[in-house]
Amino acid sequence: MSFPEYSKYIIVGAGIHGLSTAYYLAQTLKEKRLGTGADIVVLDKSGIASGASGIACGVVRNNYYQPAMRELMAHSVEVWEEDAKAYSYHPVGYMQISPEIMHADVRTIYEQQRAIGYESEFIEGEKDCNTYMKSIFSDWQAKGITSVLHERKGGYANNTKAVYALAEKAESEGVRIITGVEVLGFQGMNGSGSEIQSVETSSGTLRGDYFVLCPGPWVRDFWSMLELPETVSIRGSDGKFHHDIPMWKFWQLEEGVLKVDPKLFTTDDGKMPPVMHVDSDAPLISDVDGSVIKEELWGIYYKPDFHFSGVQGGAMPYEVKKSANEVDIDPYGPSSPEFISSPEFAHMWCSALAHCHKRFEGKIEYYDKEPSGGVGCFTPDSFPVFDTFRGNCYVIADSNHGYKMIGVGKLVAQEIVGDPQTLLKPFRFSRYEEGDLHPLSNSPYPWS
């Protein structure tokens, strides 16, 4: 099949955002009699799920301190539930298990989840939390936990299976997905407000009327192709501006797998457990030599996952010690040795598992690094930007929350045809200049 010369809608990126946008845009065009899926082309330089979406841990949660994130995630959970079987989605729930420093923040999350009708349960106080956890896992042994938020909805999906299901749905609507085509630049930008006319690719020039960019961790490079600013000015809560803030920063998102039978980690009644997220300010002691690994706030997440053939999870990220403009890499390529997971990760993560459950003591020998986690390219406040630039180019700038946000594409599809979505409004680029920022929590994670 020859490379096309024109498509009305051109979507870049065959991951969770690109393919969900393609699928729902095709449906929206048909419903509004504005076109069909045949008007849409999806381009990817490698293949379906070949980037961040293909190695994501797959966790789906609503555990956010920020109201806008909570409401957006509640919408995405509903989308996951629309076709759980096709998306290989497992609605096992999610637990946020926290120390006293995070107690007030987590209570706020619980109260606002109740306000939007998102089912969850909140346990407070160290004694009651310990009793609750031991009623589920008799070998629970984490210390200093004073709040447990148990989300009854949410869970996780098997990463590539969900993305391929989206691809099948999009293609069933007539969408054409072309892989092995790298985007090199855009043409037609002859002024600050001028629209894009075409995209230059490794296979030739493709003209279009509307463009949607879903590049995940490669967003910085596409931002540059659009000739958008490398730095931003941010209005603080005091009304004063902070200038020359880098638009992008890279974080290493470390994850791994304990290659044991996933059934090793089930509840006492033999069921699959919720996705576990434990934050703690108790000293983290090595399960190998008894040394102190961390004395400050730390956090991990974990779940049994047959897709990964073991217990899979991760830990707090750390910022790559280069500015985003100095990093010239393929975030997931072999030419990026500085982005290989730190050798300390297995030691820390396995010790943290043992800190929480006796069953994981002495299991570090089963640790096996799988291709999960990776590098994320983050905005100044670590929350997504969903907005239109150049008049006809919608940018979905997000490479960490992305996988769980399967519903964003459904909302973006509505905006493309002229129907603004309230759930996306808090994520406009203008929030930096306006000072309309998302509130910050006490979590050790920069996006929670």
Structure confidence by residue, pLDDT tens digits, 368-414: 866 556 778 889 988 999 999 999 999 999 867 778 999 999 999 99
Rg (CA), the chain: 22
CA torsion 371→345→59→333, rounded to 10°? -30
The answer to whether residue 206 is domain-embedded is yes
Q: What is the pTM of this model?
A: 0.90
Q: Which of 207-211, 295-299, 379-383 has the highest mean pLDDT?
A: 207-211
pLDDT band at 248 (very low <50, low <70, confident <90, very high): very high
**Residue 390: which domain range?**
1-90+156-246+381-448
The answer to whether residue 111 is domain-embedded is no
The answer to whether residue 136 is domain-embedded is no
Whether 332 shows a pLDDT value over 60: the answer reads no
> How many other CB atoms are there within 10 angstroms of residue 315's CB atom?
23
User: Where residue 29 sits, what CATH number does that domain have?
Assistant: 3.50.50.60
**Pairing relationship of beta strands 89-90 and 59-60 according to DSSP bridges:** unpaired
The answer to whether residue 121 is domain-embedded is no
Structure tokens at 414: 């509505």
pLDDT band at 426 (very low <50, low <70, confident <90, very high): very high
pLDDT band at 324 (very low <50, low <70, confident <90, very high): very low
Are the C-beta atoms of 208 and 74 separated by less than 8 Å? no
Residue 181 φ then ψ, to 5°: -120, 115
Nearest to 379 by CA among 360, 397, 365: 397
The answer to whether residue 318 is domain-embedded is no
- Supply the pLDDT for residue 246: 94
What DSSP character marks residue 99? Answer: -
- Supply the pLDDT for residue 411: 98
CA torsion 97→98→103→108, rounded to 10°? -50
| pLDDT mean across residues, the chain | 89
- Supply the pLDDT for residue 59: 87
Structure tokens at 415: 């905006």
The answer to whether residue 338 is domain-embedded is no
Give the span between the Cα atoms of 55 and 308, in whole angstroms: 10
Whether 85 shows a pLDDT value over 50: the answer reads yes
Structure tokens at 430: 């203008």
The answer to whether residue 239 is domain-embedded is yes
- Supply the pLDDT for residue 116: 87
- Supply the pLDDT for residue 67: 85
Strand ranges (DSSP E) for 316-372? 318-319, 367-368
Lowest mean pLDDT among 266-270, 296-300, 362-366, 443-447: 443-447
The answer to whether residue 408 is domain-embedded is yes
Give the span between the Cα atoms of 268 and 133, in whole angstroms: 11
More confident site: 54 or 77: 77
Number of domains in the chain: 1
Structure tokens at 114: 């109740």
